Amino acid sequence: MENYLKARGRIFDIQRYSIHDGPGIRTIVFLKGCPLRCRWCCNPEGQEWEPVEMLVEGKPKLYGEDITVEELMPRLITDEFYYMRSGGGITLSGGECLAQPDFAPHLLHACKDMGYTTAIETTGYQKWEIIERYLPYLDYVLMDIKHIDSAKHKAFTGVNNELIHENARKFATSGVDLTIRVPVIPTFNNTPEEIRAIAEFAASLPGVEKLHLLPYHRLGQGKYDGLGREYTMRDIEPMTRDYMQSLLAEAKKSGIYCQIGG
Amino acid sequence: MKKFNTADIPRTERIGRLLHHTFEKMPEIEADRAVLLTESYKKTENEPMVKRRALAFAHILENIPIVIRPDELIVGSSTKAPRSCQVYPEFSFEWLESEFDTVATREADPFYISDETKATLHEVFKYWKGKTTSELATAYMAPEAITSVEHNMFTPGNYFYNGVGHFTCKYWDVINLGLEGIKKQVWDELMSIRPYDADYATKHELLESMIISCDAVINYARRYSVLAMDMAKECQDPVRKKELLQIAKNCARVPEHPAEDFYEACQAFWFIQQLLQIESSGHSISPGRFDQYMYPLYEKGIYNGTLTREFAQELLDCIWIKFNDLNKCRDAASAEGFAGYSLFQNLICGGQTREGRDATNDLSFLCIQASMHTLLPAPSFTVRVWNGTPNEFMLKCAELTRTGIGLPAYYNDEIIIQSLMSRGVTLEDARDYNIIGCVEPQVGGKTHGWHDAAFFNMCRPLELVFSNGYDKGVMVGIETGDLSEFTTFEKFFDAYKRQSNFQVAMLVNANNSIDVAHAERCPLPFAAALVDDCIKTGKTMEQGGAHYNFTGPQGFGIANMTDALLAIKELVYEKKKYTLEEFKEAMALNYGKGLTPKAAKASTNAVVSSLIAEGKKVDENVIAGIFKMFLDGVATDEQKAKFDKMREDIDAVPKYGNDIEEVDLFAREVAYVYTKELNKYKNPRGGIFQAGLYPVSANVPLGEQTGATPDGRLANTPIADGVGPRGGYDIYGPTAAANSVAKLDHGIASNGTLYNQKFHPSALAGVEGLQKFVMYIRGFFDQKGMHMQFNVVDRDTLLDAQKHPEKYKTLVVRVAGYSALFTTLSKSLQDDIIARTEQVF
């Protein structure tokens, strides 16, 4: 057996006590680098593969750390009491965790060895034969479907959506527990028609039971300032609660279970 | 399908009216008890003290005004006005007389006092000069211990000024046997003693005093029966009339006879709870395992159809409000340490039976509901958690936590039982423990725990290391040597240990002196009748009659001392960036920062008085100038820059609360400096000292008396709360902080540890949120943490965090899968989140 514990990857953050990203109490490992460039991205420091310096509370901090599975595990084991009690475990996020196939599957493997549940938060943008390397070690997939219209998808994220939708179908029949998530972004996909279309797509996938609508927030804004990057969504106001409720009602018409928030 | 009946019961309108009536006015100081006590004492000067106490108790209960408040179903009020207090001059009075004019306007727990009451008390107090427990305690204390108290090394003020309290009596015996049954036990004992027994004199007197006390209580209940009957005669409202007649019937029966139904049990419970507090001024007289001893009559009533869940709930709600009807006026300094008018009447549910099975029952759920209906600080509602605690119960508790009232507190059987057993408690007794006051475990009905005996400020001995034992020019500690002698960190740490050990020894002296004073001047015969083994041994609890005896003073400041000592270890001894002398200078000059306005005012006053003493002329401008200097800081700009850099370097040293193994294990060592040393000592009641680790709310006022510390903490600012990390220095979230706390040795702190946390409501949103919250507690308890309590942060807190970001550096807000440090967000984003907070549920 190859020594998967020696696999090396690049991460930029670890967040403990995560309770909104999969079952139970989880630790999220944020993997560096993403093929998409979503305008609203709340982790812009994770987009580039290269480490970046970001000002946090006025002080520069480097984001991007190369680490092996073996070195990383002790930092995840610390919360094992909580995973075991709650059915929680490790969630890989990013960046895009599918973009590190020589590392992420091995990390998931090590987590399964410990008896933790595993999850990924993903754009789904990767060749399926590469994704298949993740599947044996994966319990939950939280996957974004951002827009049904490919051109608009490309305009706001930098990539077309065909591959993503195709992969969503494959995930749906692969045996993992799949949840579809929709970042609801004003000016991009927040009309009732657009949300309804996404919900119907999700409902058409066999075995998908849940759809989460994640309302747009501006919490990433400070990070853009810290990176010296322009935040093009600056003037966009978050939606009201009532408006989100109306979108939820719209999404529910598709027949799938829907909720606001993760 | 479910094991328990947990269906919600709506609050009745009566409860709303009772709440309104109870909280309508400011609490008041009343003089009746003090007057009656003094009358009795004057007539009994030749009697043995224990008999004098019983006769005074009887005289008070015979004559103190009694009232039945509108809408009450459970009666028994110690004062005419709701939430008011009586005065207990036999313990201390001088502070009250000197605070007559400020007690109504002080910030912490003000009480109204009328001119008439002041005049009455002024007359009464004349009798008490030289006769109080506090005066006798002072006479017994070693001069060095008095010096330590004067210099705020520790504060034994709780029992110095007041009764001891802090026990749970055998409520179950009163309910099941009645006071007539207790009296029979006393009579049987009286019959068995012989005139030639060595302890005949004292035992005989005590047993007789117990009979007098029990009769006094029975008589008091009868007075209520007569009052209710009289009120019923006058009452025009047929519904209320019927209620009053029922009250009259109840009070004619209990607590004299065994309770026959749940309503009578509630009334019997209440009289005991109320009157134990009239006998002494002790606080933390705790109902203990209420859901256990009240359950048999509840079950019987439900089973035979004479009781509905709804009526049981209303009775519990009434009792919950009655807990808040009792009050106590403390001296100004103590009031700050126990802020919130709290009497710490701790009522606990759940846990295990004496046989080790799960103890949760339907009544446990009604108790949670009562706290939800009343949303009051009293009773201090707490729950026991063990591996076999049903999740259903935990989820209901979590719902109560989510209301934001900070209750319940959660306690871990899996560590507390073994901790008690390590102190000589039997397995069955240990399984039967309850919590006293804030966090102190004991076996109810058998223990005089003397919990909460003193606040020991773990930061002060470190100050003494830097000053070679001197404080404000006075030798307060011991000489541990000049800073230059500490050539290794081990030598420095050892000096801290020696300074601390000396103060621990002084604390023991102070506590034991106070202990003896209570035994001599304020033995409590009524309480003794209700606690094992006082009848058998013929001694009151104060004289050592209880089955288990402890003294539990609590240390606080672990986080500060861990961070401080590690900063010195790394910056002075490992990196050699600074010298101890530089630390000393930085601390003396408060790192170049100005003092808090309160401290600046005090320092200004000190300087001004010394100038005046030197015969110098001091005008307004000079005073203003001195004040401004203290506010701005006395260091030069160059020094200020240096100290800023120094504090940055200190901040960069790893901190307690972040799940860093080496740091947390060092914290364990720091806690041992206090906890292990205390283990060596014994009290006059034949028990041992055992440490607690918690400050109640005293970390704030006692922080005000503490200079700057090497962890970068500024002078006069609060010390870290409980066993938790310093606010703002735990940056990896709740699991990391809890893991750090769990690495302390909670087992040795058998007098209790306290871990408070703040949560955002979104962490408890929905059923899933409650489940994860419960699993978080269980994850901490799996690691043998002892206690957890939560402030769920609400909108007001977030608004406050906007105004005072420095206080909320680590407040994490979690919204829809993303989390952020609240204070690092811009104002407009914060506003977004505040708006969202209201949407969570």
Q: ∠ at Cα B164 (B53, B166), nearest 5°?
A: 120
Cβ pair B82, B24 in contact under 8 A: yes
Q: Is B259 exposed, middle or buried (0-12, 13-18, 19+ CB in 10 A)?
A: buried
pLDDT for B818: 41
Q: First CA to last CA across chain A, in angstroms? A: 37
Cα distance between residue A168 and residue A201, in whole Å: 10
| Lookup: tokens for B212 | 């007098």
Cβ pair B5, B298 in contact under 8 A: no
Q: Is the CB of B733 less than 8 angstroms away from the CB of A21?
A: no
Cα distance between residue B417 and residue A32, in whole Å: 48
A25 vs B contacts (CB less than 8 Å): 735, 772, 775-776, 779
Paired sense of beta strands B451-457 and B154-155, if any: antiparallel
SS3 B457: strand
Q: ∠ at Cα A262 (A261, B6), nearest 5°?
A: 90
Give, for A28, the enclosing helix (H) or strand (E).
Answer: strand A26-31
Q: First CA to last CA across chain B, in angstroms? A: 27
What is the residue whose two structure tokens read 């009151």? B540
Helical segments of B341-407, H only: 362-374, 391-402
Note the maximum CA span of chain A: 55
pLDDT for B635: 87
B669 is catalytic: no
Number of neighbours of residue B747 by Cβ within 10 angstroms = 17
Cα distance between residue B414 and residue B424, in whole Å: 17
Torsion angle defined by CA atoms of residues B476, B480, B485 and B486, in that order, rounded to the nearest 10 degrees: -100
Total domain count for chain A?
Answer: 1
Cβ pair B284, B437 in contact under 8 A: yes
Number of neighbours of residue A249 by Cβ within 10 angstroms = 12
B817 vs A contacts (CB less than 8 Å): 20-21, 214, 261-262
Q: Which of B659, B775, B824 to mutate to test the interface with A (most CBs of A within 10 A)?
A: B775
The catalytic position among B440, B542, B585, B677 is: B440
Instruction: Report the residue from B779, B829, B839 with minimal CB separation from A219.
Output: B829
Cβ pair A164, A157 in contact under 8 A: no
Helical segments of B522-570, H only: 525-529, 534-537, 558-568
Q: In b/e form, how buried is each residue of A1-24, taking b as 16+ CB within 10 angstroms?
A: eeebbebebbbbbbbbbbbbbbbb
pLDDT for B819: 45
Q: Which of A38, A85, A181, A210 to mutate to test the interface with B (most CBs of B within 10 A)?
A: A85
Single pTM value for the model = 0.92
The catalytic position among B214, B438, B522, B534 is: B438
Note the maximum CA span of chain B: 85
Assign 3-class secondary structure to B584-601: HHHHHCHHHCCCCHHHHH
pLDDT for B700: 81
Size of interface A-B (CB pairs under 8 A): 88
SS3 B353: coil
Cα distance between residue B26 and residue A239, in whole Å: 45
**Of the candidates B249, B264, B256, the residue with the CA atom closest to the CA atom of residue B296:** B264
CA torsion through residues A148, A153, A156, A159, sign: positive
Q: Is it the case that residue A191 has pLDDT exceeding 50? A: yes
pLDDT for B826: 63
Q: Which residues of A touch B (CB under 8 A)?
A: 15-21, 24-25, 42, 56-57, 78-79, 81-82, 84-86, 88, 214-215, 217-219, 221-222, 238, 241, 260-262
Backbone angles phi, psi at B392, to 5 degrees: -55, -45
The residue length of chain B stands at: 841
Q: Is the CB of A16 less than 8 angstroms away from the CB of B735?
A: yes
Cα distance between residue B410 and residue B407, in whole Å: 9
Q: Which residues of B touch A (CB under 8 A)?
A: 659, 732-736, 739, 763, 769, 771-772, 775-776, 778-780, 782-783, 814-820, 824-826, 829, 832, 839
pLDDT for B841: 31
Name, in order, each residue with C-beta under 8 angstroms of A209's C-beta and a sequence gap of 6 or more. Answer: A179, A256, A257
Cα distance between residue A122 and residue A140, in whole Å: 11
**Which phi-psi region, left, alpha or beta, contains residue B219 (left: φ > 0; alpha: ψ -120 to 50)?**
alpha
Q: Is the CB of A219 less than 8 angstroms away from the CB of B815?
A: yes
Cα distance between residue B172 and residue B293, in whole Å: 6
pLDDT for B807: 72
Low-confidence ranges of chain B (pLDDT < 50): 1, 814-819, 837-841
Cα distance between residue B410 and residue B395, in whole Å: 12
Q: In b/e form, how buried is each residue of B444-468, taking b as 16+ CB within 10 angstroms?
A: bbbbbbbbbbbbbbbbbbbbbbbbb
Distance of residue B125 Cα from the nearest chain A Cα, in angstroms: 58
Cβ pair B771, B753 in contact under 8 A: no
Cα distance between residue B595 and residue B276, in whole Å: 44
Cβ pair A199, A254 in contact under 8 A: yes
pLDDT for B832: 65
Cβ pair B423, B441 in contact under 8 A: no
Name, in order, each residue with C-beta under 8 angstroms of B686's C-beta and a sequence gap of 6 or more. Answer: B544, B549
Cβ pair B489, B465 in contact under 8 A: no
B438 is catalytic: yes
Paired sense of beta strands B470-471 and B474-475, if any: antiparallel
Cα distance between residue B282 and residue B275, in whole Å: 11
**Which phi-psi region, left, alpha or beta, contains residue B514 (left: φ > 0; alpha: ψ -120 to 50)?**
alpha
Cα distance between residue B6 and residue B668, in whole Å: 41
Which CATH number fits the domain that encloses residue A97?
A: 3.20.20.70
Cα distance between residue B398 and residue B391, in whole Å: 10
pLDDT for B368: 97
Q: Is the CB of B779 less than 8 angstroms away from the CB of A42?
A: no
Name, in order, each residue with C-beta under 8 angstroms of B371's C-beta and a sequence gap of 6 or more. Answer: B320, B379, B381, B400, B405, B407, B408
pLDDT in tens, A161-182: 999 999 999 999 999 999 999 9
Which CATH number is B13-140+165-449 given? Answer: 3.20.70.20
State the pLDDT confidence band at A57, using cuts at 50, 70 and 90. confident
- Write B45-50 long-range contacts (CB < 8 A, 24+): B48/B202, B48/B205, B49/B520, B49/B521, B49/B523, B50/B202, B50/B205, B50/B206, B50/B209, B50/B523, B50/B525, B50/B540
Instruction: Report the residue from B816, B817, B824 with minimal CB separation from A57.
Output: B824
Cα distance between residue B296 and residue B547, in whole Å: 26
Q: Is the CB of A238 less than 8 angstroms away from the CB of B832?
A: yes
CA B652 to chain centre: 35
pLDDT for B793: 75
pLDDT for B797: 79
Paired sense of beta strands A26-31 and A8-18, if any: antiparallel
Q: Is the CB of B775 less than 8 angstroms away from the CB of A24?
A: yes
Cβ pair A48, A96 in contact under 8 A: no
Q: Which of B661, B735, B774 to mutate to test the interface with A (most CBs of A within 10 A)?
A: B735
Cα distance between residue B84 and residue B583, in whole Å: 49
Q: What is the CA radius of gyration of chain A?
A: 18
Q: What is the mean pLDDT of chain A?
A: 94
Q: Structural domain boundaries of chain B?
A: 13-140+165-449, 793-841
Q: Is the CB of B734 less than 8 angstroms away from the CB of A57?
A: no
CA torsion through residues B449, B454, B457, B460, sign: negative
CA B289 to chain centre: 18
B767 vs A contacts (CB less than 8 Å): none
Range of the domain at A232: 4-260
Cβ pair B733, A17 in contact under 8 A: yes
| Lookup: tokens for A213 | 């609508």
Q: Is B746 exposed, middle or buried (0-12, 13-18, 19+ CB in 10 A)?
A: buried
Tell me the ipTM for this assembly.
0.91
